[in-house]
Structure 1
Amino acid sequence: MVTTLPYGCWPSPITAELLATGGTRLGAPQLVGDHVWWTEGIATEGGRQAIVRTAGPVGYIGAHHEAEVVTVLPAPFNARSRVHEYGGASWTVVSGTDQDPDGPLVVFVNFADQRVYALREGQEPQPLTPVGPEVPSAHGPSLRFAEPAPVILGGGIVEVWWVCEDHTGGEQGPRTGADGAPHIERYIVAVPLDGSAAEDPSALRRITPSSRFVAAPRLSPDGAQVAWISWEHPQMPWDGTELHVAPLVAGSAGEGQVIAGDTGTSVLQPQWLDAERLLFLSDASGWWNPWLWSAADGARQVLELDQEFGGPLWALGTTWYRVLDPDTALVTYGRAATQLGLLRISTGKLTALELPLTDIGTVQLREDGLLVLAGASPTAFPAIWTARLDRDPAQVRDLQVLRSSRADAPDPAVLPTSESIEVPLPDGGVVHAIIHRPHQEGLAGRDGELPPFIARVHGGPTGHVSPVLSLPTAYYTSRGLGVVDVNYGGSTGYGRAYRDRLKGQWGVVDVADTVAVMEHLVREGIADGQRLAIEGGSAGGWTTLACLTRTSTFAAGASSFGVAELERFRLDTHDFESRYIDGLVGPYPERRDLYVERAPLSHVDELEVPVLLLQGDEDRIVPPSQSELVRDALAAKGIPHAYLLFEGEQHGFRKAESIIRATEATLSFYGQVLGFNPACVPVLELERG
């Protein structure tokens, strides 16, 4: 029997507490001997990122038997890097130590002080790097580390190479660079494992010359050559990077050459196949495809396919493939959704491996064929999976969950389904989106009523949303609200041309694409055109505010740590994104007119609908000043609004209490504005002045 209730009023077992405390943020898995190690974010411990491992050896486990987990990194240590503020790979297990009688040696960077530590399970972590001297412009530790790469030098010397972000200015001290911003250097540095650099910065050995940004240090198997990528302002890593190869001379990179990439070509993830050949990803063809380089033959494309084999390098250490032998790589590729394949490098032959997953991250393979990977699908929450990889014939079988991000997954009866769509645009192109209709078995909306719909715009803006199961989405859809994820122009996953649609057009193309999707839903009778809302975080907050101020499509909007104006933002934000806007809008001050004209804050006089603002007080990427400018403008105009500032939160909320409050406040806000009464959430008080 089906019960009819107004959309938005359906009772749901998916609570804000379930979103905040029931799930686990899982980090990239690593194979260490017979065990699998990974990171888990613990919301009940302030979002602390702990390093964990399986309690016993991992083989081909049976169905429905998740691994028992042992926490290796004790509280209060938090394995999280602040390089670029987004961080990335923050730990590794040093190869060759897993047979040590005291257990494997773990090295990690601790969030609070950004020092690198060494740890053996059950022992107290010991620092390996010094405390960075106080530099006010750093807004925190002045020496930061990310993307560790264990290497073995001649004589069997083991050390770990890291990307170092240095705010100290070296011998000249803190100063302002030619661009008027604080002088920051980044380089690859060797951190000795004996602890000699813990009090002596001179014991840190620079491997590469300084650049504004560096990533992906790779030592050739014979120890003779070093590869890495770099880029300079105003490029972002998806705009243009350079791939360097240099001889290793006396422990540091000698004079080398740029073998691929430039300011208009993005090169990612170099990986040595042998002492002479280097595999990498390049979007020179318009899509991130595999390329091969050798000193003898130069660079050539391994295969040309209108599929993405890479993605935006927001987090250092992100990988999209794994070399299995000198002629074979296990690759992830696709468009919005990704799949797994075996690539024969010599011939360019790609063999698809069938898996019921649509978003595949880090992959690991053991010699006996045990495959470990991170992945999710429209019916499975993000998880770490195991499977068996057969190479002749090529197939994956015995796929099982090793560790799910949701051990308490709700009944499928309350979970949504997703539908990918392409909405035609007036210029002949399309905008990509994913629809999640209201759904809960046994419940339906009233006859003649269409559901409210929430447009959700992703951050970045260089990024995308994959068609995977999401509990925040189910929080809405199980209550009778529709959700549509908009992969507007500028999103990744659809090639360079689609990504470049946003160049110089931020605040224009993203707004037009989002409106086009909502108009399509209304035209098709899917959504109530009078009850449309929009939400997004960071750059998604910018698009949210721009849609609210520049169009009449939406009845309400919620911005989480959203960008509101650009002139102050470019001065207040962190170094990684401080010149991002050059490509998205235009160079400053030459195009100051666009910076002012595009800013939602410049058009608050055109705003007529309520707004909810959510902000972390320690956010260095989009500082609280951005949300407060909007709050003050809303108050001056008397528009209903609420501003919630979350103590101790950065760019994205990690604490359970913050997630609960933000989730319930947003639902209450939508209910008040869109005309429904959500059950069992506190009423958010809206201000008018």
Structure 2
Amino acid sequence: MTDPTVAKGASVLTQPFGTWPSAVTTALVAGRTVGLSAVQADGDAILWLETRPSEAGRTVLVRWTAGTGAVDLTPPPLDVGTRVHEYGGGAYAVSGGRIAFSHRPDGSVWVIEADGPARAISTVAGLRFADFTFDPAGARLFCVREDHRAGGEPVSALVALPLAGGDPATQAGQVLVSGPDFVSSPRPSPDGAHLAWIEWNHPAMPWDATRLRVGRLERDGTLAGARTLAGDGDPESVIEPAWAGPRALYAASDRSGWWNLWRFTLPGGGPEPVAPMAAEIGLPHWVFGQCSYRPLPDGSILAIAIDHGEARTIRIKDDPDPSMRVHAVAFGHPAQCPAPLADGSLAWIDTPPDGPPAVVHGRVGAPPDTLRAAAVLDLAPGDIARAETIRFPLPDAPGGVQRGHAFFYPPASSRFRGPADEKPPLIVMAHGGPTGRASEAFSFKVQWWTSRGFAVVDVNYGGSTGFGRAYRRRLEGKWGEIDVADCIAACRFLIEHGRVDPHRIAIRGSSAGGLTVLLALARSSLFAAGASLYGVTDLRALAQETHKFESRYLDSLVGPYPAAEATYLARSPLTQATGIQVPVLFLHGLDDAVVPPGQARAMATALSGNAVPHAHYEFPGESHGFRREATIRRALDLELDFYGQVFGFTVPDVSERVVMRS
């Protein structure tokens, strides 16, 4: 029987797994691939952000219209982004042809009007701004301000910036809301009479407990009569407020156990459930500007629902029959809720399982047009690995949760296959967060390995989102235990089903995933190697050194510090280093403010003391996550060569060989 994924007449060569030549090169992944995010629509125009590794990771605002095509709006050196909460997001807003955005390097705020040049409206040193929304009255810009001027922990507030700019006395903005540790999502009602927002306090994270608030915007620009609409009772995570009229406000809340939509009708109606379901409409608030749903002019709601970890697009209608309210919408694979244009068409970032992301434009029921692809692939269908959803048993899972979740990717090549008597090596991926989610969308971080003959399993361990609040809470007080156990359980499931080589398993993870990696190596003999990319190694140091947004995150994941110091020691890879007996690779940016580079240095020193083979590389100019082309290329080659050395095969054509120390 012939393989339909192999080109006619092409021969398939047998070659050891992990050594296959691949068209997924560093030039493709780092040099010819851009990051796409934050699609918005404005009349007949579509805007988005492009992060370009070839421009040292600069992020550019792009606008497309049918008449002009795609045009860059922010020339060098402008770099659209924000470092509020360090993770940023919500870096620009557009309305009626007017655009406001943040310049990442210094936090200044700029405005573009009527296709004129960008002009700065706030250049105050020590201030950062994010989550922009224009005042319907047209004179102000609502946003989140993070104030670092006094040193120490920054102060968060909701402010209004005058769009006229120019006056140094007004460039810090008029404070509307202050006091809570964190604020987000300033959303004015369409008539400009009210402002809704989200706020929360330490030690809660925004996926633990928030409040939805609303106030009256007065003629003098102040905010009055602020009151809480949700979040004053039992802890609930209320996120993503959106208006559907002057008095109709929606938000996503997990009070039912799932992030579902609820409706509030001013002055005092609600909350009313919109369409209860065992699926999540909402994402953890790591970044500003996320959009999981949109009220549409016809009264319906377009939404992205995550059902057991898999995303689907739905439309919710106000039907008296509950069984008729939710309808599946079959078009593409939107990363976030599509944005409607004036003519009723939609724009979104499509994230299919078999190709790179792309900004697309179209209508329901018709193939969309691609406006910008993240990369142009010259790959046969058989070169692309597709996710298989696996459910694996969790032997002692609390809370009635009996199955773990992961996406498995077998090796994929149209030109090569492994020897019949050989199983592929496995790369286990532990996502960051740890409150995050592995997605089934196409990703070069997966295809880089599968196209070379590795299998990959991307684990949604306990604590991951997309499975309801109970699954998310499995990690409370158990970080470093549940995540490790779930990754091991996923591996054992694949071994038992004969999918992978049990003697060639490596585990990799970034940020919080790095802690999972290192503890898995210390506690299990299952893994032959591990790679920690800007990973956590010392929980006590992290609790004392990390930025404000995450400074109390560990209270729920580990326990209050210093009261739970013994647990911090037991869960820190640095104190468990003697349990690691296999090679480890560390990759870390020198400008990382989330997980300082000293964390990797200390762990590498500990492994040296135990004579454990390891390699440690640092990257100037990189923060929490790699953005520059040279860094991405080098990191890919180093990690590939590292696994080649561990698994005993030579990797051809890498730019640099890993130098291991012990």
Place the TM-score, normalised by the shorter chain, in its bin: over 0.9
Assess if the C-alpha contact under 8 Å between 2:334 and 2:348 holds in 1: no
Match of 1:194 in 2: 164
- Structure 2 counterpart of 1:214: 183
Amino acid at match of 1:161: F
Any idea what the Cα deviations from partners look like across 1:301-349, whole Å, max 9, x if unmatched? 1121001011101111111111113732111112222122221246464
Partner Cα separation in structure 1 for residue 584 and residue 480 of structure 2:
18
| Contact 2:315–2:327 (CA under 8 A) maintained in structure 1 | yes
2:64 aligns with one of 24, 30, 54: 54
SS at match of 1:489: coil
2:555 aligned with 1:582 = yes
Q: Is the 8 A contact 2:28 2:375 kept in 1?
A: no
Residue identity matched to 2:602: L
Q: Deviations over 1:480-514 (max 9, x none)?
A: 11111000000000000000000000000000000
CA distance, structure 1, for counterparts of residue 178 and residue 296 of structure 2: 31
1:404 aligns with: 373
Q: Is 1:29–1:37's contact at 8 Å kept on the other side of the alignment?
A: yes
Q: Separation in 1 of the partners of 2:624 and 2:153?
A: 23
Q: Does structure 1 retain, via aligned residues, the 8 Å contact 2:358–2:371?
A: yes
Of the structure 1 ranges 223-232 and 482-491, higher mean CA displacement relative to structure 2 is found in 223-232
| Secondary structure in structure 1 of the residue aligned to 2:605 | helix
Structure 2 vs 1, CA of residues 541 and 121 (structure 1 numbering), >3 Å: closer, same or farther?
Answer: farther
Residue-by-residue CA offset, 1:185-206 (whole Å, 9 max, x unaligned): 2111111111134x22476211
Which residues of 2 match residues 215-614 of structure 1 at below 5 A?
A: 215-249=184-218, 250-262=220-232, 264-294=235-265, 295-325=267-297, 327-335=299-307, 336-345=309-318, 347=320, 349-355=324-330, 357-389=332-364, 396-427=365-396, 429-614=402-587
Q: Give the deviation of 1:210 after TM superposition.
A: 3.2
User: Is the CA contact 2:124–2:171 (under 8 Å) kept in the aligned structure 1?
Assistant: no
Contact 2:123 2:171 in 1 (8 A): no
- Secondary structure at the counterpart of residue 342 of structure 1: strand
Q: CA RMSD in A?
A: 1.8
What is the alpha-carbon distance in structure 2 between the residues aligned to residue 255 and residue 333 of structure 1? 34
Contact 1:159 1:191 in 2 (8 A): yes
What is the distance in 1 between the residues matched to 2:118 and 2:531? 42
Counterpart residue number, 2:127 = 143
Aligned length, in residue pairs: 642
111-120 vs 278-287, which moves further: 111-120
* Cα deviation digits, residues 586-640 of structure 1 (max 9, x gap): 1111111100011111111111000000000001011101101111111111111
Cα deviation for residue 222 of structure 1 reads: 2.8
SS at match of 2:485: helix
Deviation at 1:457, TM superposition (A): 0.7
2:280–2:306 CA contact under 8 A, matched in 1:
yes
SS of 2:303's partner is: strand
Q: 1: CA distance between counterparts of 2:106 and 2:544?
A: 25
Letter in 2 for 1:418: A
Q: Does 1:13 align with 2:14?
A: no
CA distance in 1, matches of 2:20, 2:597: 35
Most deviating of 404-413 and 418-427: 404-413
Deviates more, 1:240-249 or 1:510-519: 240-249
Deviation larger for 329-338 or 579-588 = 329-338
Distance 2:16 2:489 in 1: 26
1:104-143 Cα distance to aligned partner (Å, 9 max, x none): x3211101110101235875432111322xxxxxxxxx21
- Show the counterpart of 2:659: 686
| Inter-partner Cα distance in structure 1 for 2:377 and 2:563 | 54
Give the counterpart letter for 1:378 in structure 2. Answer: P
Question: 2:55 and 2:656 mapped to 1: Cα distance?
Answer: 27
| Cα contact 1:416–1:474 (8 A) shared by 2 | yes
* Contact map agreement 2:538 2:574 (CA 8 A) in 1: yes
Q: Distance in 2 between matches of 1:409 and 1:350?
A: 42
Residue 93 of structure 2 aligns with which residue? 92
Q: Deviations along 1:67-107, whole A, 9 cap, x unmatched?
A: x42111000110010000000011122x23x3xxxxxx321
The 2-side partners of 1:92 and 1:221 are apart by 15
Amino acid at match of 1:89: G
Q: Partner residue of 2:6?
A: none
Distance 2:604 2:186 in 1: 44
Q: Distance in 2 between matches of 1:459 and 1:45?
A: 26
Distance 1:595 1:607 in 2: 18
Question: Which letter maps to 1:70?
Answer: V
Change beyond 3 A, Cα 1:83–1:345: farther
Displacement after TM superposition at 1:440 (Å): 0.4
- Structure 1 contact 227–243 (Cα < 8 Å) conserved: yes
2:132 and 2:445 mapped to 1: Cα distance? 33
Question: Given the two structures, how large is their TM-score scaled by the length of structure 2?
Answer: 0.94
In the alignment, the residues of structure 2 paired with residue 636 and residue 40 of structure 1 have an alpha-carbon distance, to the nearest angstrom, of 44
Deviations 1:630-678 (A, max 9, x none): 1111111111111110110011101000000000000000000012222
Maintained 8 Å contact 1:359/1:466: no
Question: SS of 1:254's equivalent?
Answer: strand
Question: Is 1:162 the equivalent of 2:140?
Answer: no
Structure 1 residues 353 and 14 mapped into 2: Cα distance closer, same or farther (>3 Å)?
same
C-alpha spacing 1:463/1:357, structure 2 compared with 1 (3 Å): farther
Counterpart of 1:393 in structure 2 is none
Give secondary structure in 2 for the equivalent of 1:603: helix
Q: Deviations over 1:210-234 (max 9, x none)?
A: 3211111111223222110100111
After TM superposition, give the deviation of residue 684 of structure 1 in Å. Answer: 2.5
- Counterpart contact for 1:47–1:655, Cα < 8 Å: yes
- Secondary structure of the equivalent of 2:132? strand
User: Kindly tell me: are residues 564 and 162 of structure 1, through their superposed partners in 2, closer, same or farther at Cα, counting changes over 3 Å?
Assistant: same
How do residues 56-75 of structure 1 correspond to structure 2 at under 5 angstroms? 56-57=66-67, 68-75=69-76
Q: What letter is aligned with 2:247?
A: E
1:27 shift after superposition: 1.6
The answer to whether the 8 Å contact 1:234/1:579 transfers is yes
Q: Residue 597 of structure 1 aligns to which amino acid in structure 2?
A: A
- Secondary structure in 2 aligned to 1:325? coil
User: Is residue 186–residue 213 contact of structure 1 (8 Å, CA) maintained in 2?
Assistant: yes
Q: Give the share of equivalent positions with the same residue, in percent.
A: 38
CA distance in 1, matches of 2:372, 2:79: 20
Residues 69 and 622 of structure 1, relative CA distance in 2, 3 Å threshold = same
Per-residue deviation, 1:56: 3.4
Deviates more, 1:543-552 or 1:350-359: 350-359
Q: Secondary structure at the match of 1:255?
A: strand
The alignment partner of 1:29 has SS state of strand
- Native 8 Å contact 2:196 2:241 kept in 1: yes
CA contact (8 A) 1:130 1:200 kept: no
Q: Which residue of 12, 16, 26 maps to 2:36?
A: 26
Cα shift at 1:433: 0.5
SS in 2 for 1:398: coil
